[in-house]
Amino acid sequence: PWMAVDLGSGSSFQVVDDNIEPSKLTVSWKRTPREHHNGPNFGYRATLRQDEHKRVDTREVFTPYVTFHNISSDVDYRVEVVCINAVGSSNTTSEVVVRSDRPAPPVMHTVVRLNDTMYQMRVFVMDEDISNYTVFWCADDMKSSSPCQNIIHFETFAVTPLLNLRKEGLNDAVSADSLRIGLSAESAMRGSSGVAWPDCVIPRAFSDQAKPPTLTVSCHRGRENCQIQLVESCEDEVLGVLKELQLTWCSGRHNSTEGCKDTQESLHVEDSANRMLELQGLFPETEYTVSVLFIFYTGIEKNTILHFKTQTEVIGMGLVAIWTSLVTLLLVVAVAFTITSRR
Residue pair 120/165 in contact by the 8 Å Cβ criterion: yes
pLDDT for residue 201 is more than 50: yes
Q: What is the pLDDT of residues 289-305, one digit of tens each?
A: 988 889 998 899 999 89
Q: Please give the residue that has the higher pLDDT: either 209 or 109.
A: 209
Q: Which fold has domain 214-309?
A: Immunoglobulin-like (2.60.40)
pLDDT at residue 248, rounded to an integer: 87
Indicate the pLDDT class of residue 10, thresholds 50, 70 and 90.
confident
What are the start-end ranges of the E strands in 33-177?
43-50, 54-61, 65-71, 77-84, 94-98, 107-113, 118-124, 130-138, 151-158, 162-166
Q: How far apart are CA 15 and CA 211, in angstroms?
A: 36
Query: Does the reported pTM lie above 0.75?
Result: yes
Residue pair 56/78 in contact by the 8 Å Cβ criterion: no
- What value does the mean pLDDT of the chain take? 83
Name 14's bridge partners.
Answer: 26
Residue pair 1/90 in contact by the 8 Å Cβ criterion: yes
pLDDT at residue 229, rounded to an integer: 87
pLDDT at residue 57, rounded to an integer: 95
Give 3-state DSSP helix, strand, coil % of the chain, rounded to 5.
10, 45, 45
Q: How far apart are CA 214 and CA 208, in angstroms?
A: 16
Q: What is the pLDDT of residues 82-119, one digit of tens each?
A: 999 999 998 889 999 999 999 998 888 788 999 888 99
Q: How far apart are CA 114 and CA 201, in angstroms?
A: 16
Indicate the pLDDT class of residue 1, thresholds 50, 70 and 90.
low
pLDDT at residue 230, rounded to an integer: 84
β-pairing, 13-16 vs 23-28, is antiparallel
In the chain, count H helices and then E strands: 1, 22
pLDDT at residue 338, rounded to an integer: 53
User: If 0-12 CB within 10 Å is exposed, 13-18 middle and 19+ buried, where does residue 251 land?
Assistant: middle
User: Among residues 169, 123, 120, which one has the least CA distance to residue 296?
Assistant: 120
The superfamily in CATH containing domain 1-100 is: Immunoglobulins (2.60.40.10)
Q: Which fold has domain 101-206?
A: Immunoglobulin-like (2.60.40)
The H or E element that residue 333 is part of is: helix 317-342
Domain map of the chain by residue range? Answer: 1-100, 101-206, 214-309
pLDDT for residue 245 is more than 80: yes
Average pLDDT over residues 51-58: 87
CA-based torsion, 64, 106, 175, 173: positive or negative = negative
User: Among residues 1, 52, 63, which one has the least CA distance to residue 26?
Assistant: 63
Q: How far apart are CA 38 and CA 1, in angstroms?
A: 5
Percent of all residues in the chain with a pLDDT value above 70, rounded to a whole number: 84
pLDDT for residue 264 is more than 70: no
Q: How far apart are CA 201 and CA 232, in angstroms?
A: 14
What's at 253, amino acid-wise? R
Q: Does 1-100 match 214-309 in CATH topology? A: yes
Average pLDDT over residues 183-192: 92
What's the residue count for the chain? 343
What's at 273, amino acid-wise? A
